[in-house]
Amino acid sequence: MKAAHRQIPALRERLALGGDRVTLRVVPQHPRLTPDPVEVSVNAPLFAGPIGPDLAVFDYNRERDRLLPPATPSRRGTFPDYDLDDPRFHQLNAYAIAARAIDLAESELGRLLSWGFEANRLIVLPHAGYLANAFYDEDTHSLQFFSFRQPDGTIYHTSVIHDIVAHETGHALLDAVRDRYTEGNHRETPAIHEAIGDLTAVFAAFSHQIVRERFLASAGEDLRGPNEVATIAEEFETSSSGALALRDLAVNPRPSSFRSVTDPHLLSVQLSAAIWEALIRIYEVNRTRGDLPEPAFRLARTALQRMVVRALDYLPPADVTFVDFALAMYRADRFANQDARGYRPVLARALAERGVIERASDIEDESDATPAWPGRPPSWPRITQAEAYVFLDANRQRLALSTQARYRDFVVRDLYVTSRPPSHVEIDEVILTYEYPIDIELDARRFGSLGGYWLPIWGGGTLVFDRDGRLRHRADKPVTRERVREALDFLRSVAATSLVRMDQTAEDRFRVGGARAAYVAAIAGDRLSLRSNPAVRCGSRPPIGGAAP
């Protein structure tokens, strides 16, 4: 295993603090709204495909069993200006949007990410086949973008749509940070996956000046007017299947309308719309301070984007909830920013008003890091995974190993150090996650044909230490009676309406892909894990109007 701290110089190189870049062109929002591509830069060199350090575009159309010719760089490493209709433009467009989202996440987190699957590169299929859909599939390590015919006869390629490419990349990025979140024993976990997808789309869109200008021009002085950024993947609405609809983050649904929602897309809007609201209010704070609209907005976007991305490292290893996420945003920002303008209380109030948390005071914690835990290895903060285990083992009683703490074993799931932007020189934090499974047998009376299988509930936690070993944040996930009960209730509620069962056969995988159920009971031996179904993760869904009052 690579030593975590050696990644810091590699990160500096990656973020091109001195490295080589290559210019590519992307459609900044949507071919109908912003038809002229804009130039962006990504890490060089790229090979034909394009293929880069984290991403490999492989333009294979499964239905036609055909490989399309790849975009190919000149000897100087630059790519031709392909026509917008040329599949090679779609390859470069999807590549560049995904690569920029990765750059942003790595820069804000201050560390290199490795994917949530066993491979170095995420495969991008810009023309995967014919369907009104696009999704991230961790089993095949791929982002799959499909094409479909619109009512007017034109073919719509999802790999050209900025929102869709960024949204799917957001799923892959969250999976890279916390790869248990595609399993979900809590309804808010897959909803957070969707919210991260949508927020990645929003922030990626706002990285383009033309999108910011159009937004400020159309949304009005207070930014509450109609706009085309808060609506995610709007063009899906016109798909002939009628199965796909938009999400609008500028809505203000009653918190109570989410109470019994289990569909991840619908539920995600509770969180992402609250964060959108925080964006508008932070902008208002800046305007009150005398900033002109453009800088006021740019500052608000940068601050909130930082809060959302940095929160990811402060999340627990499994079954993340909205409260966990809200607290992570607040605490990560507490150690990253002075907050001279009071953005954090503004965020907390928006989250409370929208029912993401009960009260703002639930997350408003401005306290400093707490004293170092005993038993830190002398090599701190440059510790190895083995040293991390010994350190945690010496602190068993402090960890959330409720019963039989002495005997329960755990693994150090992740160990990384971070270095703060923009310079990424000093080690800022040491982050450890540890976990253990508790298997619960499903009883046949309650679970019918799922009876007899064992459902793993993951316990553990995330510990964020500063470079001197003081504890900044801990996100605990003990396996409590309450959590077990909630997990079983959740499994039962989705088993009745939106669960499809999948064993480890090829036909089953195929069948699941065609099924419209939001959840999959993935069965391996006598174990069953509840996962969100990637094929509908971003696809078929009722319009968000359904959740609004």
| 3-state class (DSSP) for residue 333 | helix
Q: Which stretch binds Zn ion (CB under 5 A): 151-159, 188-196, 278-286, 376-384?
A: 188-196
Q: Which stretch binds Zn ion (CB under 5 A): 172-180, 186-194, 518-526, 541-549?
A: 186-194
Minimum Å gap between C-beta 455 and Zn ion is 24
From the number of C-beta atoms within 10 Å of its C-beta (0-12, 13-18, 19+), residue 65 rates as exposed
Total residues interacting with Zn ion, rule: CB under 5 A? 4
**Per CB under 5 A, does 177 bind Zn ion?**
no
Q: Which stretch binds Zn ion (CB under 5 A): 49-57, 155-163, 379-387, 529-537?
A: 529-537
Of 194 and 435, which has the nearer Cβ to Zn ion? 194
| 3-state class (DSSP) for residue 155 | strand
Of 170 and 461, which has the nearer Cβ to Zn ion? 170
Q: Which stretch binds Zn ion (CB under 5 A): 140-148, 202-210, 471-479, 531-539?
A: 531-539
Amino acid at 537: R
**Per CB under 5 A, does 531 bind Zn ion?**
no
Q: Tell me the chain's radius of gyration from C-alpha atoms.
A: 23
Here the contacts of 243-246 (C-beta below 8 Å, separation 24 or greater) are 243/132, 243/539, 243/540, 243/541, 244/132, 244/133, 244/539, 244/540, 244/541, 245/541, 245/542, 245/543, 245/544, 246/543, 246/544
Distances (CA, A) of 326 to 80, 158, 292, 316, 519: 44, 31, 29, 12, 25
Contacts (CB under 5 A) with Zn ion, residues 354-413 = none
Of 198 and 333, which has the nearer Cβ to Zn ion? 198
Report CA torsion sign: 536, 542, 548, 549: negative
Of 68 and 538, which has the nearer Cβ to Zn ion? 538
**Per CB under 5 A, does 186 bind Zn ion?**
no
Kind and range of the H or E run holding 205 = helix 188-206
Kind and range of the H or E run holding 172 = helix 162-177
Of 172 and 300, which has the nearer Cβ to Zn ion? 172
**Per CB under 5 A, does 537 bind Zn ion?**
yes
Q: Which stretch binds Zn ion (CB under 5 A): 112-120, 194-202, 445-453, 457-465?
A: 194-202
Furthest C-alpha separation in the chain: 68
Q: Which stretch binds Zn ion (CB under 5 A): 35-43, 190-198, 211-219, 324-332?
A: 190-198
Beta-strand pair 134-137/142-145: antiparallel
Among 70, 73, 190, 197, binds Zn ion (CB under 5 A): 197
DSSP 487: H
Q: Are 158 and 134 in contact (CB under 8 A)?
A: yes
Q: Are 203 and 104 in contact (CB under 8 A)?
A: yes
Of 164 and 442, which has the nearer Cβ to Zn ion? 164
Q: Are 63 and 162 in contact (CB under 8 A)?
A: no
**Per CB under 5 A, does 184 bind Zn ion?**
no
Residue whose C-beta lies closest to Zn ion: 538
> Would you say how long the chain is, in residues?
549
Of 483 and 541, which has the nearer Cβ to Zn ion? 541
Of 102 and 357, which has the nearer Cβ to Zn ion? 102
**Per CB under 5 A, does 538 bind Zn ion?**
yes
Minimum Å gap between C-beta 54 and Zn ion is 20
Minimum Å gap between C-beta 205 and Zn ion is 16
**Per CB under 5 A, does 102 bind Zn ion?**
no
Binding region for Zn ion (CB under 5 A): 194, 197, 537-538
